[in-house]
Amino acid sequence: MEYDYKEPVYTIGIVAKFLKVCPATLRIWERRGLIKPTRLGKNRFYSKWDMERLHYIKELIQEKRINIEGVKSILITTRCWEVKKCKQKERDTCNVYQRYSKA
């Protein structure tokens, strides 16, 4: 069985703990349009892909000191691995992905 990278399985509490932010921060980022978790009733669920995106958002805001509008601009930039729909194995050996995926 292949692991579905975009399967929403993590609750907001788990994601907040993993990222070392409070759940309110994740809700703010959602309201500001940086992330859109899957909703089941009132509950939010995040995938591994969402968690990586949130880690990147946190890095841009807290470490690189980029404001939310700047982060939005960065996030809408299409990267080559998204256009080519590279699989994770291909990304692991891609110099461009390794250099810029966490930039």
Cβ atoms of 48 and 39 closer than 8 Å = no
For the chain, which residues make up each domain, given as ranges?
10-100
- What does the DSSP 8-state code read for residue 79? P
Q: What is the per-residue pLDDT across 27-71, written as a single tens digit (0 to 9) for each?
A: 999 999 999 999 999 999 999 989 999 999 999 999 999 999 999
Residue type present at position 26: L
Determine which of 36-50, 67-81, 86-100 has the lowest per-residue pLDDT on average. Answer: 86-100
Q: Is the pTM of this model over 0.95?
A: no
- How confident is the prediction for the chain on average, in pLDDT? 86
Q: Is the pLDDT of residue 4 over 50?
A: yes
Q: What ranges make up the beta strands (E) of 14-58?
A: 38-40, 43-46
CATH code of 10-100, in short, is 1.10.1660.10
Give the per-residue pLDDT at 77: 78
> What is the rounded radius of gyration, in angstroms, for the C-alpha atoms of the chain?
14
